Amino acid sequence: MKVQFAKWGNSLAIRVPSKLVESLGVLPGTVADMDLRGDRLVITPRKHVYRLDDLLAAITPDNLHAEVPTGARVGKEQID
């Protein structure tokens, strides 16, 4: 697949074609590592690792949702 470097501020940029984006499963904001291997430029998207402490720390009164009704209690979840 042929791509072209373009000027972006003081840097150069390459657009990633949508077919590759779909194959990689990346989204805007995905972090990637970029390395030189010999004369090749290698870009590898990082897999995001979720940590429970980070997720819990991100909960605020503004983004905490209310209880969600799920119907009457049944079976062993029934409290007497």
**Is the confidence at residue 79, as pLDDT, over 70?**
no
**First vs last C-alpha separation in the chain:** 66
| CA–CA gap between residue 9 and residue 18 (Å, rounded) | 23
Q: What is the pLDDT of residues 13-53, one digit of tens each?
A: 999 999 999 999 899 989 999 999 999 999 999 987 889 99
Residue 80's pLDDT is what? Answer: 62
**Is the confidence at residue 4, as pLDDT, over 80?**
yes
**Is the confidence at residue 74, as pLDDT, over 90?**
no
Residue 47's pLDDT is what? Answer: 86
| Under 8 Å between Cβ of 34 and 27 | no
| Under 8 Å between Cβ of 58 and 43 | no
Residue 72's pLDDT is what? Answer: 83
Q: What is the pTM of this model?
A: 0.55
Mean pLDDT of 2-11: 95
